[in-house]
Structure 1
């Protein structure tokens, strides 16, 4: 690999599978720096992106980026890097659809919520699959505008043991994003970092969705702060049984950081419900509830917010 641009020899053709806020933000940052990025999107979004470009209304800039978009999975046949940003509930179906199309050289980076997606995808494809812990506050306005509310960094790694080939792939991904102005680092403890982000999702997403309320407003309510604390206690008990040890002080600190660095953000769960779409709640608090049943641990607070989001989902036509 070249010393100057090692990523250019590995990741020439980049595809974003799942052109929501996360996919459009990170794919847009790469496209903005003239990488060959194609978004796989639904027909309406693909048409608008092709015709009018991707508008990035970000904290440090506001630009419209000329991008390529398609509805066709068949174009993935020349992929070098696939940014997987579909909803967790769509992972298995989506990976099964592309399994015969993706070349064996293609590297997959999961930008998804939850902690089960790598395992789900790995059972379907043999391609290298890596996890990204995503900390970005962003949402989509109509079909072509990413509204960036804050942060935007990635932690990446292999939940399994890293070998020399993995290290090369991961370093290439880091160089790619760093060159596009996205802070990105490789972490040897990616499973723990995934669970720390998972904690944030379980603490904030459902409540934000139920109340259609941004994070900064949530923590102004003492009752909600107490609810977050109880959800967190249950979460940590389950995490320990999954060999992930997070202290209560660590958990409190990372929850607090989200409320202060993403003040105006509403959760992806809230955004889905507002658009009349099914959420990822079964892979967030619902996953904690399922693990609790498996281990014989009561999780009444996680069960409560999970049940309320499921109730709201049941109203979706």
Structure 2
């Protein structure tokens, strides 16, 4: 399969590098500045367990040079760039192309289906702990490396089985799911909970937990998110609820999500895609989410300031 990885950042670059190291036919769609960095330094993965990994010389393409369809498009971008990405991808999508988006939330499925057709779009989630260094390298901070994907309509199709064979390479735990929407709702509940917790508390998980009442905020936010998932027909599995509860109540935890980092560093956030969409669904379903509504309002004020700055 010919694979196009959209973006060579912390997530797409990491998984794309693992696929390329295993001999898969991988091309990275990148911006000109990122392309120059990768041509100069190569695609480098650092962190524990990667000491003997040589820099990868990746196959690169920029938007204006896209001219033919790919078998698989792995979409690992932020929701804030989704509309721009959709326009860019048109020459790369053919009648049998599988688009596998690894964005949090669900709104992107409808956006991609509206542009490329329902049959072209799979669902997916990703679990990885990586970040981009100032030099442009990708630093792995934990060994977790999981891709879950499947048909949004459910079941295991032949193409999902074939994709599983392609993505099953050393270093990637590839999971072909018969109920990918459950996995997506579970990840969404987790991301919204930790995002709202840190953005409202303006600190790491550990800093929020350390103050009086802070240890109750995470579970309360999770209860609201889980209630929306249940009302939507995709309840979060109990083991996932237990894991998320532990994550958001761990004393001393330095954990913060990208949503928080974007907020405190004055960048545009995925607030509408993550919290705005979830709370809108809650209203339609008659589910009360007062804490998530407050977090959404908090982030919308930030976005309003961003808009005023141009």
- The answer to whether TM tops 0.5 is yes
CA gap of 1:188–1:221, structure 2 versus 1, over 3 A, is farther
Equivalent of 1:46 in 26, 35, 38 = 35
Q: Shift in Å at residue 174 of structure 1?
A: 2.0
Name the stretch that deviates more: 133-142 or 245-254: 245-254
CA gap of 1:273–1:200, structure 2 versus 1, over 3 A, is same
Aligned to 2:151: 158
Q: Does 1:30 align with 2:11?
A: no
Q: CA RMSD in A?
A: 2.7
Question: In the comparison of the two structures, how many residue pairs are matched?
Answer: 301
Contact 1:137 1:265 in 2 (8 A): no
Offset from partner CA, 1:91-112 (integer Å, 9 cap, x none):
3442244235422222111111
Q: Shift in Å at residue 177 of structure 1?
A: 2.5
Equivalent of 2:181 in 191, 213, 221 = 191
Q: Secondary structure at the match of 1:80?
A: strand
Provide structure 1 residue ranges, at least 5 long, that are not aligned to the other structure.
1-10
Aligned to 1:133: 125
Equivalent of 1:113 in 101, 104, 127 = 104
Aligned to 1:5: none
Q: Does 1:302 align with 2:306?
A: no
Q: Secondary structure at the match of 2:172?
A: coil
Q: Shift in Å at residue 157 of structure 1?
A: 1.1
In 2, Cα distance between the equivalents of 1:210 and 1:140?
Answer: 25
Aligned to 1:122: 113
Aligned to 2:137: 145
Name the stretch that deviates more: 224-233 or 192-201: 224-233
Contact 1:233 1:248 in 2 (8 A): no
Q: Does 1:55 align with 2:44?
A: yes
In 1, Cα distance between the equivalents of 2:4 and 2:212?
Answer: 43
Q: Shift in Å at residue 266 of structure 1?
A: 3.0
Q: Secondary structure at the match of 1:21?
A: coil
Q: Shift in Å at residue 305 of structure 1?
A: 1.6
CA gap of 1:103–1:168, structure 2 versus 1, over 3 A, is same
Contact 1:73 1:98 in 2 (8 A): no
Contact 2:186 2:237 in 1 (8 A): no
Q: Does 1:71 align with 2:62?
A: yes
In 2, Cα distance between the equivalents of 1:296 and 1:188?
Answer: 28
In 1, Cα distance between the equivalents of 2:18 and 2:204?
Answer: 25
Aligned to 1:90: 81
Q: Secondary structure at the match of 1:105?
A: strand
Contact 1:81 1:106 in 2 (8 A): yes
Aligned to 1:246: 236
Contact 1:111 1:132 in 2 (8 A): yes
Contact 1:44 1:143 in 2 (8 A): no
Q: Secondary structure at the match of 1:113?
A: coil
Q: Shift in Å at residue 24 of structure 1?
A: 1.2
Q: Shift in Å at residue 152 of structure 1?
A: 1.3
Name the stretch that deviates more: 71-80 or 145-154: 71-80
In 1, Cα distance between the equivalents of 2:104 and 2:38?
Answer: 25
Q: Shift in Å at residue 301 of structure 1?
A: 0.5
Q: Shift in Å at residue 307 of structure 1?
A: 2.2
CA gap of 1:271–1:250, structure 2 versus 1, over 3 A, is closer
CA gap of 1:76–1:20, structure 2 versus 1, over 3 A, is farther
CA gap of 1:74–1:58, structure 2 versus 1, over 3 A, is same
Q: Secondary structure at the match of 2:168?
A: helix
